[in-house]
Amino acid sequence: MRKLGAACLAFVALVALAAPLLSPNDPGVTFRAFLYAPPMRPHIVGPDGAWRRPFVHPLRLVSRLEQTYEEDAGRAVPLEFLAGGKLARLSDENAGPWLPLGADRDGRDVLARLLFGARTSLGVALLATLAALLIGAVAGGLAGYRGGLVDDGIMRLAEFVLVLPAVYVVLALRAALPLVLPPWAVFALMAGIFSLVGWPWVARAVRTVVATERTKDYAAAAVSLGAGPGRVLFVHLLPACRGVVATQAILLLPGFILAEATLSYVGLGFPDSTVSWGVMLQEAANVSALSDAPWMLAPAAAIFLVVLGVNLVVQDRPPE
């Protein structure tokens, strides 16, 4: 199961990196004639039952008021592969856009927004995770190595942050800052807030390992050979924390993805002009997504896949 979880995470990372190639349309382009258009499924069997190269039937608007569509079974537009910098696209551009996962309320390609949104959501989560690991490792290392008042001060601060409800702390910190910010500022701000909430988990784990390792012979030998406190801590003791740091990283990452989705869902995250999984879920909340446009819930499925992959990796992780 651990390999399955790693495969899920690798798949999500790969499609995020390959978003420009995999996406048939630009995520910001609107197709006004295709509001809430359903997914356009590729076919390989023609009306006569014969096998054909992959093709799609263009959509035809049935009711503009109800935004209902049907496939034009009388037309078959072949797909062409690895053309125009895209993995697959319609061979006839006049047939309209190809929307493999349908369109949203503004007629934007849901698949394109899902792929490019992965870059934003995963980027925030990765940056926040790295920052939390750095702060937590240094703070926990100092607490475990120095002990005494330093240990008490750092651990009391970490425990104070840990006892606070993380979701409400994140919401309160973000709400206390300006609501209208450029996307890059929102990105940095969210990463900073998440790292401030996440570092105590890392610090507590690292502190336990360092406090144990500093009493062992190799640490005492390094001191006897003239190594200073900084060298002993960063060269000899912190490397022994690689296992717990890796575990904390794969636990924090899905939590930060969910936190980004929560902030964007309540309107405190990225603006609508910046695509992310949280922004897409906020848009899905404005429609009866489960009944009228279930394809709008694609980012929820992507978040579930990431969380499932992390849980499978952690569940079957061998003991240190």
> According to the model, what pLDDT value does residue 205 have?
93
Query: With contact defined as beta carbons under 8 Å apart, do 254 and 126 qualify?
Result: no
- pLDDT value at position 301? 92
Q: Tens of pLDDT along 246-280?
A: 889 888 988 899 888 888 887 788 888 889 998 88
pLDDT for residue 289: 56
CB-based contacts of 157-165 (< 8 A; 24+ apart in sequence): 157/200, 158/199, 158/200, 158/203, 158/204, 159/200, 161/196, 161/197, 161/199, 161/200, 162/200, 162/201, 162/204
Under a CB-based contact definition with an 8 Å cutoff, are residues 279 and 273 in contact? no
Q: With residue 154 as reference, give the H or E element that holds it.
A: helix 148-163
Residue 127 pLDDT: 95
Note the pLDDT of residue 11.
93
Give me the residues of the chain with pLDDT under 70, please. Answer: 287-291, 316-320
Give the tens place of pLDDT for each residue, 127-160. 999 999 999 999 999 999 988 899 999 999 999 9
C-alpha 279: how far from its chain's center? 12
